[in-house]
């Protein structure tokens, strides 16, 4: 299968806009195709609305952002792209007709994935040319933040199509869940529908309001579900014996007449209760306001889970590791100017980095300088595998000088000069510049010691790492030494 450089969207709307925002953020060009020309304004607005949350998700260095183009010619889109994501309304005959049409124009090695939330891939691929490339790639709203995508094969789907799609989705930061068998509703929607039916019954019978039912999830199971699913949580509920004890103890409850699998009739009265309840919960906030609230806490939850390398946090951590490796590879391929320090890291000041003085908080500077150091590490061979083996440079001394104000949305870049290095140590000098005027806004120095973490002592770096580091040291020896390098703190004027 081909490398995906351009994603084609067959239909736009909420899901299509989410796919566009995610793909573009991770460097994929997007051609959005919709028969309604007014959807161009919609999808561009959707991408713009998603950008603040996506920008907050990770500080890892990103590739250049992808470009968005729009067309009303579905066939022309199909001829130009490397992967097609279909997002048209959930009507089987409509999807079958459009997928068959587009398959006549898309090259045979272009995978076509449907975002359908419940239709069977075998039905969707019925009339297609090269049906072996049709899969279900079912995402969850908001697509640009929630990493889950369910992959489902039809009877004619090639295994290679599933694997190639999983590779693409993983590249744009998603968790590709392979569904073993095609069933209506796939996996997650079937679970969500069971909960939804119970909600409708309890509202219909006056047992609880929509707010009370949501609170029963928000303050309890929902917090657990962010990182552990129902099965693992119930395993814990069984104590030391685990799931077996839990089923023996609580299994008989399943025979009690608690749940009602059939949904109640959607009478006007029930619909009114649901509408009135959710409107009261919204408290006058618009859909866009609620989306921003949702996006903010989804970013925060994933960043917290990243610290524990679990659930969506593990997906984010893996994405960031790859982004850092790719940034280091790009930097290594960039022609080196021996008369300049290394330009290692670019970033933009995010809203949450700004303090009560409307400037970037001082504790964010070490983070940015640290990201530059991480990029240098990767260039000389100190990566995740290296650290997993128990070796890493440790910071033993650091000094930062704050020279100019930095505010929200300022674009910054960091250069690094190697002032000295031996087998166990190196001394780095960093300069942080504002992109718009190239003004020097901060400097920093690092003294680092190479450590064997398992032995808890300093040790020489491997010969290949030393060689790469010393080569940079020799180039930088000809550069002017910074006037304040090695200077201690003092109340004297500088």
Cα–Cα distance measured from residue 492 to residue 494, given in angstroms and rounded to the nearest whole number: 6
Q: Residue 96 has what pLDDT?
A: 97
Residues 102 and 211 in one domain: no
The chain-wide mean pLDDT, for the chain, equals 91
Q: In the Cβ-directed half-sphere of 97, how many Cα atoms lie within 13 Å?
A: 7
Residues 429 and 466 in one domain: yes
- When pLDDT is cut at 50, 70 and 90, the band that residue 328 belongs to is confident
- When pLDDT is cut at 50, 70 and 90, the band that residue 56 belongs to is confident
Instruction: Report yes or no on 491 lying in a domain.
Output: no
Cα–Cα distance measured from residue 134 to residue 157, given in angstroms and rounded to the nearest whole number: 6
The pair of structure tokens assigned to 131 is 């049906």
pLDDT in tens, 461-478: 999 999 999 999 999 999
Whether residue 98 contacts residue 49, with contact meaning beta carbons closer than 8 Å, is answered with no
Cα–Cα distance measured from residue 345 to residue 347, given in angstroms and rounded to the nearest whole number: 7
pLDDT in tens, 442-452: 999 999 999 99
Cα–Cα distance measured from residue 290 to residue 147, given in angstroms and rounded to the nearest whole number: 20
pLDDT in tens, 331-352: 777 777 878 899 988 888 987 8
Q: Residue 211 has what pLDDT?
A: 94
Question: Which of these three, 245, 264, 284, is where a domain ends?
Answer: 284
Average pLDDT over residues 304-333: 87
Residues 236 and 361 in one domain: no
Instruction: Report yes or no on 295 lying in a domain.
Output: no
Whether residue 115 contacts residue 137, with contact meaning beta carbons closer than 8 Å, is answered with yes
Q: Please give the backbone phi and psi of residue 156, each rounded to the nearest 5 degrees, phi first.
A: -100, 0
Cα–Cα distance measured from residue 336 to residue 340, given in angstroms and rounded to the nearest whole number: 8
Proportion of the chain above pLDDT 90, given as a percent: 68
- When pLDDT is cut at 50, 70 and 90, the band that residue 492 belongs to is low
CA dihedral 9, 12, 14, 19 (to 10 degrees): 20
Instruction: Report yes or no on 302 lying in a domain.
Output: no
Residues 77 and 140 in one domain: yes
3-state secondary structure of 258: coil
Whether residue 270 contacts residue 264, with contact meaning beta carbons closer than 8 Å, is answered with yes
Instruction: Report yes or no on 452 lying in a domain.
Output: yes
Cα–Cα distance measured from residue 393 to residue 382, given in angstroms and rounded to the nearest whole number: 9
Average pLDDT over residues 172-191: 95
Question: Which of these three, 266, 284, 302, is where a domain ends?
Answer: 284
Residue 433 confidence (pLDDT) above 90:
yes
Considering its fold, how many domains does the chain have in total?
A: 3
Instruction: Report yes or no on 289 lying in a domain.
Output: no
Q: Residue 248 has what pLDDT?
A: 76
Residue 32: its H or E element: strand 29-33
Residues 50 and 178 in one domain: yes
Q: Residue 491 has what pLDDT?
A: 67
Q: Residue 5 has what pLDDT?
A: 97
Residue 288 confidence (pLDDT) above 80:
yes
Residues 171 and 239 in one domain: no
- Give 414's contacts (C-beta < 8 A, 6+ positions apart): 343, 344, 345, 346, 368, 369, 371, 372, 430, 431, 432, 433
Pick the most confident of 5-19, 212-226, 247-261, 295-309.
5-19
Cα–Cα distance measured from residue 340 to residue 416, given in angstroms and rounded to the nearest whole number: 9
What is the domain extent for residue 382? 335-476
The pair of structure tokens assigned to 390 is 């128990």
The CATH code of the domain that includes 445 is 3.10.129.10
Q: Residue 55 has what pLDDT?
A: 86
Q: Which of 306, 444, 429 is nearest to 366 (CA)?
A: 444
Average pLDDT over residues 41-58: 92
Span of 3-17, 125-139, 261-275, 409-423 with lowest mean pLDDT: 261-275
Residue 112 confidence (pLDDT) above 80:
yes
The CATH code of the domain that includes 269 is 1.10.1040.10
Q: How far is CA 77 from CA 20, 24, 144, in A?
A: 14, 16, 22
Residue 196: its H or E element: helix 188-204
Residues pairing with 137 in the sheet: 151
Residues 376 and 400 in one domain: yes
Span of 34-48, 166-180, 224-238, 254-268 with lowest mean pLDDT: 254-268
pLDDT in tens, 79-89: 999 999 999 99
Residue 494 confidence (pLDDT) above 60:
no
Span of 9-13, 324-328, 359-363 with lowest mean pLDDT: 324-328
* Residue whose tokens read 């006058």: 284
- When pLDDT is cut at 50, 70 and 90, the band that residue 479 belongs to is very high
Residue 404 confidence (pLDDT) above 70:
yes
Cα–Cα distance measured from residue 488 to residue 494, given in angstroms and rounded to the nearest whole number: 11
Instruction: Report yes or no on 296 lying in a domain.
Output: no
Q: Residue 450 has what pLDDT?
A: 96
Instruction: Report yes or no on 490 lying in a domain.
Output: no
Residue 281 confidence (pLDDT) above 60:
yes
Question: Is 466 buried (19+), middle (13-18) or exposed (0-12) by CB count in 10 A?
Answer: buried
For 184, other C-beta atoms within 10 Å of its C-beta total: 11
pLDDT in tens, 214-263: 999 998 999 888 888 888 887 887 788 888 877 777 777 777 777 777 88
Instruction: Report yes or no on 300 lying in a domain.
Output: no
Q: Residue 235 has what pLDDT?
A: 84
């Amino acid at each position: 299968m081909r490398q995906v450089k351009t994603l084609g969207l067959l239909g736009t709307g909420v899901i299509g806009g989410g796919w566009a925002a995610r793909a573009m953020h991770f460097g994929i060009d997007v051609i959005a195709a919709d028969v309604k020309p007014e959807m161009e304004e919609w999808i561009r607005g959707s991408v713009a609305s998603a950008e603040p949350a996506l920008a907050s998700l990770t500080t890892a260095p990103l590739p250049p952002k992808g470009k968005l183009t729009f067309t009303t010619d579905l066939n022309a889109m199909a001829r130009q792209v490397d992967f097609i994501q279909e997002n048209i309304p959930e009507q089987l005959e409509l999807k079958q007709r459009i997928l068959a049409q587009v398959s006549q124009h898309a090259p045979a090695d272009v995978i076509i994935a449907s975002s359908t939330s419940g239709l069977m891939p075998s039905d969707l691929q019925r009339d297609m040319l090269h049906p072996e490339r049709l899969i279900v790639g079912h995402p969850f709203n908001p697509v640009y933040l929630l990493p889950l995508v369910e992959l489902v094969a039809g009877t004619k789907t090639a295994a290679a199509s599933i694997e190639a799609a999983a590779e693409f989705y993983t590249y744009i930061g998603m968790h590709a869940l392979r569904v073993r068998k095609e069933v209506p509703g796939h996996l997650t929607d079937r679970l969500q529908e069971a909960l939804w039916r119970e909600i409708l019954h309890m509202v219909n019978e006056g047992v609880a309001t929509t707010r009370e039912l949501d609170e029963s999830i928000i303050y309890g199971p929902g917090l657990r579900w962010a990182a552990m699913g129902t099965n693992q949580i119930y395993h814990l509920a069984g104590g030391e014996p685990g799931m077996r004890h839990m089923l023996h103890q609580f299994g008989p409850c399943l025979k009690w007449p608690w749940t009602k699998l059939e949904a109640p009739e959607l009478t006007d009265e029930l619909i009114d209760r649901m509408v009135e309840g959710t409107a009261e919960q919204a408290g006058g906030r618009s859909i866009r306001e609620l989306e921003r609230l949702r996006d903010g806490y989804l970013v925060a939850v994933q960043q917290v889970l990243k610290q524990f390398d679990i659930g969506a946090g593990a997906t984010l951590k893996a994405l960031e590791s790859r982004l850092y490796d790719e940034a280091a590879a790009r930097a290594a391929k960039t022609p080196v100017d021996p008369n300049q320090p290394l330009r290692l890291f670019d970033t933009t000041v995010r809203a949450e980095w700004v303090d009560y003085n409307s400037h970037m908080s001082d504790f964010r500077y070490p983070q940015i300088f640290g990201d530059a150091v991480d990029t240098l590490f990767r260039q000389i061979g100190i990566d995740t595998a290296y650290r997993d083996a128990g070796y890493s440079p440790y910071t033993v001394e650091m000094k930062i000088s704050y020279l100019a104000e930095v505010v929200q949305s300022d674009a910054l870049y960091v250069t690094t000069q190697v002032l000295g290095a031996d087998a166990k140590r190196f001394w780095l000098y960093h300069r942080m510049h504002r992109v718009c005027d190239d003004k020097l806004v901060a400097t920093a120095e690092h003294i680092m010691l190479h450590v064997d973490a398992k032995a808890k002592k300093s040790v020489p770096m491997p010969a290949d790492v030393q060689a790469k580091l010393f080569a940079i040291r020799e180039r930088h020896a000809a550069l002017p030494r910074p006037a304040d390098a090695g200077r201690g703190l003092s109340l004297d004027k500088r």
